[in-house]
Structure 1
Amino acid sequence: MAEQETSSGLEGFGKKLLNLFIKEEPTTGKPITAFPQNPPNPVSVPITPAGPVPAAAVPEGAVDTKFVDHFAAVLSKANQPGPDYFEFRETLKNLSNLNLSEDQQYQAAWASFKAMGGSANVAGLVSSANQYLTALNNDQQAFSKTVEEALTEKVGGLSNEQKQLQSENEQLAKQMLELQRKMDANTERLAKIGGELNEQRQKITQNKSNYEATLAVFVGQIKRDLLKLGEYIK
């Protein structure tokens, strides 16, 4: 890969990277998709694995330009002077527009790669590709660690808040239930008090009437005696 990536040129490199690894399907209107991940290798050479491929996320992820720029920076740092896998991928991408079979594309790209000064041994090309895979794998591990830390900090904090609010709601529900029971008891008592008020009012009123009636007897008797005393005793 030519040493053309600088901080000011990463955006252009990101677009170039997107063009080399991502293709668009204009006739169907489908979203952009990656090129085939496991094309036939024209020469049987062991390839160092880059680590397990993460399971598809739910919901399904989509190509994000900010991550394209990020990977552009990662691959730029892993770049070695001279032609390497990047130039091979670029040649292969250009050949994809020709009416060639897949094996012809890889054979032609390999011949072009050697002609531009790349390694004459396919193991060298494989080694450079594995360097990029290693860089991406290391970046993936660092990213996964960051994600776990974010989950612990942000999601964990929200989870604790959720539990706290649920606990508060449970306590409030108990208090509301107790208040409702108290209100029901008060309502029941109020209904009884209404009846008792009428009963007591009647009793008091009757008692007053009886008092006044009895008082009238005594007062009347005394007044009658006073009248008779004045009449019979001089």
Structure 2
Amino acid sequence: MPESDQSIGRKILGFFIKEESGTESTGTPATGKPAAGAPPTGASTPAVPRIPVNTGASNPTPASPASGAVDPKFAQHFADVLAQNNPAGPDYFEFRETLQSLASLGLTEEKQFQAAWASFKALAGTTDVSKLTTTANQYVGALTKDRDAFGKSVEAAVAERVGGLQNEQKRLQTENESLAKQLLAIQQQIDANTNRLTAIGGDITEQSAKITQNQQNYEVTFAHFTDQIKGDIAKITQYLK
């Protein structure tokens, strides 16, 4: 991804994810110069992001499933998706940036949205609120399209990693039933297959748990991003008439 998209991606990430004290969303100390892109594999674990509280923007109900979590790598991924789909000229992105800058001024939520809208109108030279809702929905659409692609990759991963092991498990179980009815001479083969079945059981449990947790983290992160955008859309529709 071009450097400009990376920069926008990090900026967008800050709109949706708030780090624990003193860190940026990438896990880098808040120096104003976050490292480009997501943390490399094997790097120290970044601070776990949390859903913003009392930011002045929408505060959606915590997403489910509860067993998932907002994952830093997916948060960075979604920020990059939004950056890649950021069109030229002012749109919902710039509106949300202005809205966030007003969070610390002690204004009511309605006043914050109205002030952000006034600033956006001057910047964009338009009085059409649909400019915000339309582009916000385009961002939701981009994230949804990415989610669909991710779902297909999960299905492929399950088929490759778990499906193959399950097929082998069924085959060996059937073979053992047959071998058990044969002469004692083949007992050694049965024992070998049984040992393999034990190993497969552990592999299935491990791989299934990894894939399920990864999918749950993705879903929660997806819901976290889209809920905030949809919440903003609802407030835009409510306050900016």
Category of TM-score, reference length = shorter chain: 0.5 to 0.7
Q: How many residues align?
A: 157
Q: Does 1:18 align with 2:13?
A: yes
Distance 1:117 1:158, change over 3 A: same
Q: Which residue of 2 aligns with 1:79?
A: 86
- Cα pair 1:14 1:68 within 8 Å, conserved: no
Output one character per residue of 1:72-129: Cα deviation in whole Å (capped at 9) or x when no partner: 3322332222100000111111111221111111111111111112531111111111
Q: TM-score, normalised by structure 1?
A: 0.55
From 4, 17, 39, the equivalent of 1:9 is 4
Provide structure 1 residue ranges, at least 5 long, that are not aligned to the other structure.
1-5, 41-54, 181-234
Q: CA RMSD in A?
A: 3.3
Partner SS, residue 19 of structure 2:
strand
What residue number does 2:70 align with? 62
- Counterpart mapping for 1:153-192 below 5 A: 153-167=160-174
Larger Rg belongs to: 1
Matched, 1:148 2:155: yes
What are the Cα deviations for residues 56-77 of structure 1, in whole angstroms up to 9, with x where unaligned? 3473132223x33432332233
Taking structure 2 as the reference length, the TM-score comes to 0.54
How is 1:7-156 mapped onto 2 (pairs within 5 angstroms)? Answer: 7-26=2-21, 31-35=48-52, 39=58, 56-57=64-65, 59-65=67-73, 67-156=74-163
- Return closer, same or farther for 1:23/1:174 CA change in 2, 3 Å cut-off: farther
CA distance in 1, matches of 2:101, 2:121: 16
Letter in 2 for 1:71: F
Amino acid at match of 1:138: K
Instruction: Tell me: higher relative CO, structure 1 or 2? Use CA pairs within 8 A at least 6 residues apart.
Output: 2
**In 2: Cα distance, 1:153 partner to 1:76 partner:** 32
CA distance in 1, matches of 2:20, 2:180: 56
Q: 1:202-213 residue pairs with structure 2 within 5 A?
A: none
Q: Rate the CA distance shift 1:109–1:164 in 2: closer, same or farther, 3 A.
A: same
Task: Report deviation, 1:169.
Answer: 5.7
Change (3 A) 1:118 1:79: farther
Aligned partner of 1:19: which letter? G
Partner AA of 1:63 in structure 2: D
Verify the 8 A CA contact 1:10 1:72 in the aligned structure 2: no
Taking the aligned partners of 2:133 and 2:3, their CA distance within structure 1 comes to 29
Give the direction of change, closer, same or farther, for the CA distance of 1:175–1:78 in structure 2 (3 Å limit).
Answer: same
